[in-house]
Amino acid sequence: MRGIAQLLHPLRFMTPKSSLRILAIVVAMAASLPQFTSALEVATTGAEPGKWTMDFDAATKLAGEKKMPILLNFTGSDWCGWCKLMDEAVYSKKEWQDYAAKNLLLVTIDFPQNEKIVPEKYKARNGRMQEEFKVEGYPTYVILDSDGKTVIGRLGAGQDKTPETFIGEVEEALRLSPANIEKKVAELGPDKGAAFKAALEGMKSAEADFKAWLATGPQRSPENDAKFEAFQKRMAEANKAVTAF
């Protein structure tokens, strides 16, 4: 949009006729820009694997029955450009829809400009969930375990994301869900299962220590650069230990 802004800037110094000509060009340019509209059909009641719904309670109930994780989509469906981009580039595609139908419950937590989009009964709940999950921008995608409470992972939008790349991100998050960890431990047996759990604890400890250090607001210095590199190395080694199983 910088080019449009640069065109508008000289209007203060032009005659009315010249200004109108430039304004017509600006309008034509704006009309030629790609316009993304929401590609999602969202139910307001009930839940079904792979289908978007606003009914979090129904989705949570079904998730518990099917032992299936939930993907929360915190969005501004009728105004958020990044949200619409993800709808168009990922969620509207058959590859994503086929994957989601077998693996996920999908819940839309919407904050639209058009208040008629969201039923009144969900508005206060949406606000509470936004606070509960500390959502500060849209879109934010929160993956919950089948209990509808345990956060497995958080994902975001991206200009180059595709169904393939986003499915990969979801799978990476689900790999360390409580249900998948239990399944993995059972498959490995007592000894290897215990070693796998120890590796997981090592990875969590490395990540927690790094976050705690970042929270202190370290200033750029040779000493802190070295600490940063050490944390990165420790986390990489811890992750490698987990993926070895």
Does any domain span residue 24? yes
pLDDT at position 176 is 84
What residues make up the domain containing 203?
179-243
pLDDT at position 82 is 96
Does residue 162 share a domain with residue 186? Answer: no
Does residue 229 share a domain with residue 208? Answer: yes
Does residue 128 share a domain with residue 70? Answer: yes
pLDDT in tens, 181-217: 988 999 999 999 999 999 999 999 999 999 999 999 9
Whether residue 106 has pLDDT greater than 90: yes
Does any domain span residue 10? yes
pLDDT category at 78 given cuts 50, 70, 90 is: very high
For residue 233, count CB atoms less than 10 angstroms from its CB and return exposed for 0-12, middle for 13-18, buried for 19 or more: exposed
Does residue 158 share a domain with residue 92? Answer: yes
Does residue 57 share a domain with residue 159? Answer: yes
| CATH number where 166 lies | 3.40.30.10
Whether residue 35 has pLDDT greater than 50: no
Please state whether the predicted TM-score (pTM) of the whole model is above 0.75.
Answer: no
Does residue 146 share a domain with residue 193? Answer: no
Does residue 139 share a domain with residue 108? Answer: yes
Does any domain span residue 61? yes
pLDDT at position 232 is 95
Task: Name the average pLDDT for the chain.
Answer: 87
Give the pLDDT mean for 155-179. 93
Does residue 142 share a domain with residue 197? Answer: no
CA distance 217 to 137: 22
Give the pLDDT mean for 229-239. 94
Last residue of a domain, one of 134, 150, 174: 174
Question: 76: helix, coil or strand?
Answer: coil
Whether residue 114 has pLDDT greater than 60: yes
Average the pLDDT over each of 29-38, 74-83, 130-139, 142-151 and give the range with the smallest value. 29-38
Last residue of a domain, one of 174, 190, 215: 174
Whether residue 125 has pLDDT greater than 60: yes
Does any domain span residue 38? no
Total domains in the chain come to 3
Does any domain span residue 43? no
Does residue 189 share a domain with residue 144? Answer: no
Does any domain span residue 224? yes
SS3 content of the chain, % helix, strand, coil (to 5): 60, 10, 30
Chain-centroid distance of CA 118 in Å reads: 20
Edge-to-edge strand ranges of the sheet holding 105-110: 52-53, 105-110, 70-75, 140-144, 151-155
CA distance 237 to 245: 13
Does residue 105 share a domain with residue 56? Answer: yes
Does residue 113 share a domain with residue 56? Answer: yes
Question: 142: helix, coil or strand?
Answer: strand
pLDDT in tens, 214-228: 999 999 999 999 999
Does residue 121 share a domain with residue 169? Answer: yes
Whether residue 58 has pLDDT greater than 50: yes
